[in-house]
Each structure stands twice: as C-alpha cells, then as structure tokens.
A and B are shown apart, each in its own frame.
Chain A
C-alpha cells in the first residue's frame, strides 16, 4: 500500500550508522543494558581500588562466612571475601567472555560470508573443515590448545575462539544464503561493485541482524567454558579469582552455604542480561523496516 504516505516530510540525510545510533539511544531497555555493562566495565577497570579486601588473602578464621556487614557477600571456603573476588575476577571473566566471543564472531562471520557467497567448492571445503572442528568436543579442543601453548588467560581465550568459530560460520553462511538470490546483488555486479564491496556493503549489513543476538548469548557460555578450563587447570590459575571458577568451586558447598554460588551466579546472569538487552536493541535499531 502507499507506504510512501508515511514519509510525510523529507528526512534529514543521515547515514545508516547515525540512524542506528539515534534509534538505539531512544530504546530504554537497550540503554539500561548499556548502563549496566558500562558499570561492570568500570568495576573491572577500577578493580583493586574499590575492592574492600584482598582477593587472594586467606582468613581461615572466617571460612564459609555468611553475608554480614564486614563481608556483604560472605566469604568462601578459605575465608576470602567473595565481593572482592567478584570485583577483581570481573577483569578475567569479562575479558575472556567478550574477547573470545568477539574473536570467534569476527572470524566466523568472515569465513561464513565467503562460504555462502562463493558457494561450490569453496563452500564445500570450508564447511567440511568446520565439520571436523565441530566433531571435536569444544572442551577437548580447548584443552589441546592449552596443552600445546601452555595455560594462561590468553591461551584460554584463543582456545575458546577456535571452538566458537564453527557455530558462527554456520549461522553466517545460512544467513548469507538467504540473501544470495536477491537481485540487488546482481544489480551491484552490474554497476561494477567489487566482490569485497558486495560482501561488505550489500551482504554483511543484511546478514548481521540474526547474528547479533547469538553473539550476546555466546558471552555467558564462554564465561562458563572458561570456568571449566580453570577447573581442569588451564584457564585462570588459582588462587586468582574468576567468576566461572568461583561458581564451580562453590558447587560443592551449595547445600550448606548457597551464598557461595548465588553471588557469582547472579553476577554472570546480570552481565548476560545486560548484553542481551543491548543486543536486542541493536538488532531492532539496525532494522530499517521498523518505524522510528
């Protein structure tokens, strides 16, 4: 129908980027998510300055302390202040969560776009390669990487990136295949667009939206995977704190001292929730079809 009527007056000539930002800033949920995320990042940066206690100093007189005025989140099995450990641990956890997902998303989407766009042999080779990666349990893969390169946060991130790539390749490829038949790609070829430009300008922006939510969801998984890595001694090395590791350590005491899992759990949940709210908002803001 004459949707043109909705375009009552001439709109300002603004780029898609600006338009996206403007819409994003008007979305209250997304803004709440962004605020929480900024606060979390600030906490991570300021870490040692705001933590009330040391994160590794043991206080064996105060083991399994329930939340109190001195220790608002209680203490763990070695008497360490859980609040302080969460604050200091946010550095490692956020770094692992965000960097590893960003890494696998970027690599995965690029490879997926190439596979989807070129099709045929290129597609076949890439996808069979990804099949091999997916056939290995991510944990085994990560352990192999850490075993080869040595334990440590950076190698842990690398391992998580590698195990995350195939999923993104698959999704990006499916998303590109949907767009592959569109005539505007042919039109772009007809006006002499280079392949790189077609992918960057015509395919990627249209293929990205379904992936954004997946990206934000992935952060939680990768924080938890990082914890299992530390559990087998490959990620963050004890006694240094890390959210996932705290969660799995507290698991043993869940019956008697539930605060040891509740607080790390809640923090991880808040992080993921904030990322999700931001991701949803971003996806909507990027969709030109939704009205202002």
Chain B
C-alpha cells in the first residue's frame, strides 16, 4: 500500500512492507512478501487467507517469536507505539510480549501446562509483568476467570478438568490478564464446535470492546470475520490482495481471489446448483509465479498480469486492491 495514503498518526501498530522468508535445505520459501497494514486503538483487523498464505507468520513476526533460523525478516518495519519492534533487543521484546502484545493460539489443548492449575497459570503471567505480590496476582487471576465466564472457585482446577471451549476461555484470560494493547488471535475458534465458537467469539469481541484492546484476528472463515472485525485484509501467497473496511469488502469485493472465495462458500440462504470454485491450487511459496501471483488461477488474467509489478489501486476511499483489472472484474 502506498506510504502516503496509509500513514496514520493514530495507528497503534503499523506494519510496513514486511518481507519474511524461510530457508530449508536450500529452498527459499517466500512466506510474507511486502505486507503493510495498520491498526488503530480499539479496532480489530481480520487477516483472511488459506493454509500457507502467511497469516500466522505475520502474527509471529509481530510477536517476535519466529524461529530464526529458518525464518528471516528480509525487510520492513513493525512500528508499535512509536518503536520498531524488529529493532528491539530480546530483553526489550520480552517486556512487550505478554504485557503489551499477547497471542491466542489455535489449539487450546496444547497451550496450557497440564501440571499447573489454571488459576496459577493466569497468575503467573500477571506476576511476571506487573509489579505485584503473589496474592494480588491470584486476585487478578480470579477476576480474569470471572471475566471469561468461569466461576472463580474453579481456580484450583487443572486443564484436564476443563472442556475444549473452557480451555480456550482460560487461554483468552491469560492473554488478556495484563490488559494488552494488542491481541493476536490465531484461529482462536477453529478447534471448537459451532455453538461453542459462537460463545467464545462473542466473548472475545465483548472483552475487546470493554478493554479497548486492538485485535488482529487470523482466520480462514469469512463468516467469523464478518461478525467480529472492523477492517479486513485478504491474504494470498504472502501478499495482501485486498484491504478494506468490513462493509466495503463484503458488499463490494473487487479482487478476483476475494470474489472466488465468496463463490466457493455455500450460502445459508441462497440456492445455487453448483459452487464456483477457484480453479487450480495455491502457488508453491518456493516458486511463486512472476507478475501477479494469482494470475494462473485468475479468469481475467492478461499478458500484463504475467509479468511486471502489480500495484495497489484504490477502489473506494480506504479500499485497496492489488490487481491490474480492478474495474474489469467488477463488470465481469
């Protein structure tokens, strides 16, 4: 996205031109290729994309937990509260991590230590980051449990005594225990059932509003995004192909990939005889196509798309599309 249009003084986090690669046995995997976005205080951004699109890598880069090697940040900056996180030392980063930025992982089953009671796990985070006594930390942990809808008298219980949805609540309580400025939620409800997903998503949104936390929600489910994000970025092959406000994106999608995604999801209300899938497969990140990385699967691809650089166009104020044929697609 062009620097001028996107620069925003109020942004809590702004990621600019981020590029991350993985090197494994000689091959270079281009996981993230020049991603820029920003997020304001109290807002939520949805990162939508398929497996291997680079969503989780972006989140891990922001949190500074990418395994290096094999991963390497080639360029870009991640400015959070005026500081570039990529330039911080590990010690400084440790103060940011958990306190200012925290993350919820996909699988609640493996995110908790089975040998420590859930209450103590929350209290541990609190006492690590806040200057307080053990007693105060325990008190705070109880408050957090109540906040995520678990009775405080279950403080002493162990993770195996909780169901999947309850464990995810505990994970969320841990993530929110220090009132972080930014919450990174990586597919927080994918492992849960529909009715439990609804409970958990509603709770996350509610707490996010209440605590005025910003959130980056990573998911493959457009439905989840539609219900809980303000802004949406669609990611394909490590690039943001479309970026807009939620209403704008859902009502007026422009990029052929976004349109393809909508065509692939069966509707809950309309009848269609056959879905219109996107032909082909996602590209191999070791060997990305030249030009627009979507062109081999795109119905509108022309010679121009196969070579040269594709740049962002603004379809509407704040609605950016990475496509040569933005206006064409709409007609098609």
Direct contact of A and B (CB under 8 A): yes
Query: A98 → chain B, closest Cβ, in Å?
Result: 36
Q: What size tier do the contact residues of chain B reach?
A: under 10
What are the interface flags for A1-26 relative to B under an 8 Å C-beta threshold, 1 for contact and 0 otherwise?
A: 11111000000000000000000000
Q: What size tier do the contact residues of chain A reach?
A: under 10
Query: B1 → chain A, closest Cβ, in Å?
Result: 26
**B287 contacts across to A, CB distance below 8 A:** 5
Question: What CA separation (Å) do A204 and B27 show in the bound complex?
Answer: 34
**B281 contacts across to A, CB distance below 8 A:** 2, 4
Task: Report if B64 contacts A (CB, 8 A).
Answer: no
Query: B32 → chain A, closest Cβ, in Å?
Result: 15
Chain A residues touching B, majority SS: helix
**B52 contacts across to A, CB distance below 8 A:** 1
Chain B residues touching A, majority SS: loop
B:260-314 near A, CB below 8 Å: 281-287
**A1 contacts across to B, CB distance below 8 A:** 52, 282, 284-286
Question: What CA separation (Å) do A2 and B287 show in the bound complex?
Answer: 10
Question: What CA separation (Å) do A4 and B282 show in the bound complex?
Answer: 11
Query: A2 → chain B, closest Cβ, in Å?
Result: 4
Question: What CA separation (Å) do A5 and B52 show in the bound complex?
Answer: 15
Query: B70 → chain A, closest Cβ, in Å?
Result: 15
Which among A2, A3, A4, A5 has the highest number of chain B CB atoms within 10 Å?
A: A2
**A3 contacts across to B, CB distance below 8 A:** 284
Question: What CA separation (Å) do A2 and B288 show in the bound complex?
Answer: 11
**B284 contacts across to A, CB distance below 8 A:** 1-3, 5
Q: Which residue of B lies closest to A291 (CB)?
A: B25
**A2 contacts across to B, CB distance below 8 A:** 281-284
Question: What CA separation (Å) do A149 and B287 show in the bound complex?
Answer: 67
Q: Which residue of B lies closest to A1 (CB)?
A: B52
**B286 contacts across to A, CB distance below 8 A:** 1
**B282 contacts across to A, CB distance below 8 A:** 1-2
B:48-71 near A, CB below 8 Å: 52
Question: What CA separation (Å) do A202 and B283 show in the bound complex?
Answer: 32
Question: What CA separation (Å) do A3 and B287 show in the bound complex?
Answer: 11
Q: Which residue of B lies closest to A5 (CB)?
A: B284
Question: What CA separation (Å) do A1 and B285 show in the bound complex?
Answer: 8
What are the interface flags for A91-125 relative to B under an 8 Å C-beta threshold, 1 for contact and 0 otherwise?
A: 00000000000000000000000000000000000
Question: What CA separation (Å) do A2 and B296 show in the bound complex?
Answer: 14
Q: Which residue of B lies closest to A3 (CB)?
A: B284
Residues of B near any A CB (own CB < 8 A): 52, 281-287
Q: List 13 A-B contacts (CB under 8 A).
A: A1-B52, A1-B282, A1-B284, A1-B285, A1-B286, A2-B281, A2-B282, A2-B283, A2-B284, A3-B284, A4-B281, A5-B284, A5-B287
> Sorted from nearest, which 6 A-B pairs have the closest CB atoms?
A2-B281, A2-B284, A5-B284, A1-B52, A1-B284, A1-B285
Further 11 A-B residue pairs, CB within 8 A, beyond A5-B284, A5-B287: A1-B52, A1-B282, A1-B284, A1-B285, A1-B286, A2-B281, A2-B282, A2-B283, A2-B284, A3-B284, A4-B281
